[in-house]
Amino acid sequence: MRFANEVNGLVVKFSRLEVNETLGVDMLVMERLYPLDFRAHEAEIREIQFDVFADELRTLHAAGFAHHDLQRPSNLPGERFDNILLTAQSLRLIDVGISVLHRQVGEAFFNAYVQRELEELARFRAFFLGR
Ligand SMILES: Nc1ncnc2c1ncn2[C@@H]1O[C@H](COP(=O)(O)OP(=O)(O)OP(=O)(O)O)[C@@H](O)[C@H]1O
Ligand SMILES: [Mg+2]
């Protein structure tokens, strides 16, 4: 999350880590987003928002970060693209739980993750603009 935050503003911003003594757990405190329905903006606005999103995602890839969880696998319950949030300004990414860094997984794996992510991006485009 911190790696991606240094590259651009696409991924939700990390604030701090906290220990919750009552619950006995570590907590990750982050920026709070206020998501809108994917149909909240006119199609023309959404096209621009999608293009910015795609540019920022490719910039993250070029810097060595792949989100790796754009689209929920079809065998898992839940909305397909619920890690992509539409805010009043732009599309943002949450849930970096399984994201990967180039320097950690190496060239071959990283390129495979990026390839798959670009396929998911194309499916998200059809979903987001087709609403
Ligand atoms: N920064 C945030 N601002 C607003 N809502 C958030 C934020 N982070 C998470 N959420 C909400 O909580 C939900 C679950 O968060 P997240 O995807 O990070 O957790 P998860 O454990 O991976 O859950 P899931 O399996 O549903 O993806 C999100 O779909 C979103 O509705
Ligand atoms: Mg999630």
**Per-position pLDDT tens, the chain of length 131:** 999 999 999 999 999 999 999 999 999 999 999 999 999 999 999 999 999 999 999 999 999 999 999 999 888 888 899 999 999 999 999 999 999 999 999 999 999 999 999 999 999 999 999 97
Indicate which atom in ligand 1 lies nearest the CA of residue 31: 1
pLDDT at 78: 83
Q: How far is the CA of 11 from the centre of ligand 2 (A)?
A: 13
pLDDT at 129: 96
Question: Is the shortest distance between the CB of 87 and ligand 1 below 6 Å?
Answer: no
pLDDT at 79: 87
Pick the CATH number of 34-129 from 3.40.50.300, 3.10.25.10, 1.10.510.10, 3.40.50.2000: 1.10.510.10
Domain-wise residue ranges, the chain: 34-129
Which of these, 104, 123, 103, 116, lies nearest to 50 by C-alpha position? 123
Which of these, 106, 110, 97, 113, lies nearest to 1 by C-alpha position? 97
The model's pTM: 0.95
Provide the Cα torsion 120, 129, 47, 5; round to 10°.
-40
For 59, the token pair is 């910039």
Per the listing, tokens 């696998």 go with 73
pLDDT at 111: 98
